[in-house]
Chain A
Amino acid sequence: MKREEGTQRYDAAIDAVRRETEAGLGDAELRAVRDSVVRRMRGRRVSRGWRWPWLVPLLTAAAAAVVMLLLWPRVLERAPEPAPVRLVVRSGEVKIAGAGESAAAREGARVELPAGARAHLDAGEVAFMVTRHSRETEPFRVQVGRDEVLVYEAQFAVFAEEARVERVTVTVGVVELKLEGESSSRTLRAGEAFERPAESVAVERSPDPARPPRRQQPSANPRAVPAGASWDAAMTSLRAERCDALRAQVADLVKSSKFAEDKAQALLLDAECAVRKSDKQGAVELYEKVAREYPWTASAETAVFEMATLQGDITSAEAYLQRYPQGRFADAATFRRCELLLRSSAGAEARACLEGYRRDFPSGMKIEAVADYLRRLSEATR
């Protein structure tokens, strides 16, 4: 019944529509449309189709070339960069394999490696500086027999004997160490070192346990040094500020030490003695020597920072920050630079420096002082 009623209503409505719409638009409306169309079509040309079909591929190619030119820098920028690896062979010989070629670098060689290269070291000491450019980069690998060191970005040195890793020191960054016979790998961070004892394997802290934690001002206390009678004698001389005697002992230590880190450490003792004797020039020369001769060691970073502290100028602080932007003393060096800028009345630069500190070291040791400086700068500019 309801369906019938609906059908009837439907039929009636369709008839109604037919009748209502039969006439279309009225004459007046049609004229209005015509006038509007004619008015709007004046000045508009009839499309005559494409007269130069050969222009299509030409324009497409030109557009593609323009797009490529515009995007090319980004393409280059985004392309996976090789992980540039620089290495210095301190002793022994390192074999380099990669890109279908292999080569050997001997003592004293400074080598730059292409992406995908691997270093093989059986015996000797090699310092590496690995720069990571993108997250897609594979880790750089140092193969020592069946031991392996993997690194994305770091400065570190590997000492190997009889195709075994004997010692790894990390100056900057993080290094993963896989040792034969161990199920899990070890992670060494900046300031840490691994040394394989004669009978067992252990990870120890930096050879300088007295060194303050990352991003803290180094202590003025005498540094702890590797164990041994010679080292004890040198420390005794330092405490007594017998710098001449110490210098001879340090020379012996440098000569007898197997590791670059130890040699640099010994020279730091000498430099510290000079500081205690207020021999600023002598200390700076020794620090420069450490930084120059043992650039891959953790002590070199310490030397550069101590030198900046001694010289107390902006250039030295910036020199440290440029060399070790993520270094252990970057916090203190940045703050020092900011303070020096404030003193030199470089207001805008000082403010930028302080804001940079606040951004980069939100929990830095000087964060409160920085906030105070910024507040005072704001008050001064009002």
Chain B
Amino acid sequence: MDPGVARSVGAGDPSEEAASDWALVSRSVEGDERAFTELYERHAPALSRRLLRMLGRPDEVSDVMQVTFLELHRALERYEADRPFGAWLHGFAYFVAARHLKAKRRRWWLRSGSDLELDGARAPTSSPEDQAGQRAAVRAVYAILDTLPAKKRLAFTMHVFEGMTLTEIGELTGDSPQTVRARVESAREKIQKRMGSGAKS
């Protein structure tokens, strides 16, 4: 099970959680709005964390989460109990995020460095100087990530920021671990190279 989902379901018994998810899904399918809200409450925090790492911008995370849950709601009938709901949800979110990033790359002229709006106030930092330096570093990383193809970017963020294994990422994206590795390494190399050239200047 991937770490994000593990975090999302908390420390309870996974089988109980799964049964509970299944019950909520069944009730949602029957039109129970509360059940769907509960599903959201249960899984949204972990998903938002992963999406924030993938995308780097809270406003984009909000958009992608909305689309993800709306599409998920329409597809609930297809959910099968033999797969953890969290993994299913994150799979959905991955494809929505990839679509979003592809669309964003097509609208490259709308991008700018000032888009980065990470809320550093929630992260523990020691001093205002450190906060400023940290934000600058984050901006630099996402500015480079913005130039990468969506699949490379997502593989890199899930592996490096989230700590997911190559196999876990492959299960989520439907790719082989070797492919995922190639994407991660390619992204890493590019980021390091760009950061090295940044250091030069």
Contact = CB atoms under 8 A, between A and B. Distances in A.
Interface of A: 2-3, 5-7, 9-10, 12-14, 16-26, 29-30, 32-34, 36-38, 40-42, 44-49
A47 B69 contact: no
Interface string B140-163: 111000000000000000001100
Contact of A16 (B46, B137, B192): B137
Nearest to B144: A13
Nearest to B41: A34
A34 B77 contact: no
B138 A20 contact: yes
Given A17-B141, A47-B77, A37 B66 contact: yes
A20 B118 contact: yes
Contacts of B50: 24
Contacts of A34: 37, 40-41, 44
A44 B69 CA distance: 12
Nearest to B199: A5
A22 B119 contact: no
B122 A23 contact: yes
21 contacts: A2-B200, A3-B196, A6-B196, A9-B195, A13-B140, A16-B134, A16-B141, A17-B141, A21-B56, A23-B49, A24-B47, A24-B48, A24-B52, A29-B48, A30-B45, A32-B62, A38-B33, A38-B37, A41-B73, A48-B77, A49-B78
Nearest to B7: A24
Given A46-B28, A46-B74, A46-B77, A21 B118 contact: yes
Contacts of B123: 19-20, 22-23
Contacts of B141: 13-14, 16-17
A40 B67 CA distance: 10
Contacts of B69: 33, 37, 41
Nearest to B157: A17
B138 A13 contact: yes
Contacts of B74: 44-47
B119 A41 contact: no
Chain B, interface SS category: helix
B183 to A, nearest CB: 16
Contacts of A38: 33, 36-37
A20 B192 contact: no
Given A17-B141, A46-B76, A30 B48 contact: yes
- Listed from nearest, the 9 A-B pairs whose CB atoms lie closest are A6-B196, A24-B49, A24-B48, A25-B48, A13-B137, A16-B137, A16-B134, A23-B122, A37-B69
A47 B73 CA distance: 8
A41 B36 contact: yes
Nearest to A40: B70
Given A2-B199, A3-B196, A42-B33, A19 B125 contact: yes
Interface of B: 28-29, 31, 33, 36-37, 40-41, 44-53, 56, 58, 61-62, 65-66, 69-70, 73-78, 118-120, 122-125, 133-135, 137-138, 140-142, 160-161, 191-193, 195-200
B28 A25 contact: no
Contacts of A21: 49, 52-53, 56, 118, 161
Contact of A29 (B33, B58, B134): B58
Nearest to A1: B199
Given A24-B48, A29-B62, A46-B76, A10 B53 contact: no
B166 to A, nearest CB: 17
A33 B44 contact: yes
B195 A6 contact: yes
Contacts of A46: 28-29, 31, 73-74, 76-77
Contacts of A42: 33
Given A6-B195, A25-B58, A25-B65, 5 more contacts: A37-B66, A41-B36, A44-B74, A48-B29, A49-B78
Given A14-B161, A38-B33, A47-B78, A33 B65 contact: yes
A3 B189 CA distance: 12
B144 to A, nearest CB: 9
A20 B134 CA distance: 8
Contacts of B137: 9, 12-13, 16-17
Given A19-B124, A33-B65, A46-B28, A6 B75 contact: no
Contacts of A2: 196, 199-200
Contacts of A7: 192, 196
